Structure 1
Amino acid sequence: MTVLNVLIFFSSFSFFIYGLAYFTSTKMKSEFKRFGLEKVGALTAVLELLGAIGLLLGLKFQPLLLLASGGLALLMFFGVVVRIKIGDSLWVSLPALLFMIINGFIFYSAIFT
């Protein structure tokens, strides 16, 4: 198994868990309220779930890998921007930043393989 495949599985699993957590955890919903984004919380969770599925399906269908990884990297970019805007520390913002980098790397790698 390549490093790229490990990153794809890791990211997919993580986004699947985070996406589901929005619908099962009041803490996740309260975070979106804290961000001032409670109206788009469910949409964000659905996009995370679709991205997670897209990463896995993208292992066999490269255009889907590009779409899913690019979309998740963009979603996490906006997550980092929101966290900076509300004054969260780098430590708290680190997961969004790392997932942006991971999915950016997956996107980049999918273009050149």
Structure 2
Amino acid sequence: MNLLNVLVLVSSLSFLAYGIAYFTSSKMKSEFIRFGLRKFGALTAILEILGALGLLLGLKFDYFLVLSSGGLGLLMLLGIAARLRVKDGFLAILPALFFMVLNAYVFFESLKILKD
């Protein structure tokens, strides 16, 4: 298993867990309220789950890898913006930053695969 596949698995399993956690954890819902994004919580969770499943499909179909990693990277960029808006500290922003960079790497590597 190569590095790209490992990163795809890490990202997909993490986003699957976070997406499901929104529907099972009141703490996750309260975070969206704190961000002033209550009405976007369920949509974000669904996008995380779809992105995670897309990454897994991307292990076989390159197009899904490009689309899903790009979408999840963008979602994390917006997550960083939401945390900055409520003046969260660096440690609170770090997970979103990590997953944004991870998915950006997967995105650019998957673009190279599509070109070949």
Match of 1:59 in 2: 59
The amino acid that maps onto 1:31 is E
Match of 1:69 in 2: 69
Runs of 4+ in 1 over 2 A off after TM superposition: none
Give the distance between the partners of 1:73 and 1:112, measured in 2 at CA: 17
Give the distance between the partners of 1:38 and 1:94, measured in 2 at CA: 22
Q: Aligned residues: percent identity?
A: 58
Give the distance between the partners of 2:22 and 2:81, measured in 1 at CA: 20
Question: What is the TM-score when the length of structure 1 is the normalising length?
Answer: 0.99
The amino acid that maps onto 1:107 is F
C-alpha distance after superposition, 1:2-51 (max 9, x if no partner) = 11110000000000000000000000000000000010000000000000
Note the C-alpha offset of 1:75.
0.1
1:112 counterpart SS class = helix
| Aligned residues: CA RMSD | 0.5
Gapped regions of structure 1 (runs ≥ 5): none
Match of 2:94 in 1: 94
| 1:44-55 mapped onto 2 (5 Å cutoff) | 44-55=44-55
Give the distance between the partners of 1:22 and 1:84, measured in 2 at CA: 21
Note the C-alpha offset of 1:85.
1.1
Q: Is 1:26 the equivalent of 2:26? A: yes
The amino acid that maps onto 2:75 is L
Gapped regions of structure 2 (runs ≥ 5): none
The count of residues paired between Structure 1 and Structure 2 equals 113
Give the distance between the partners of 1:31 and 1:82, measured in 2 at CA: 10
Question: What is the TM-score when the length of structure 2 is the normalising length?
Answer: 0.96
Match of 2:3 in 1: 3
Q: Is 1:16 the equivalent of 2:16? A: yes
| 1:71-86 mapped onto 2 (5 Å cutoff) | 71-86=71-86
Note the C-alpha offset of 1:111.
0.6
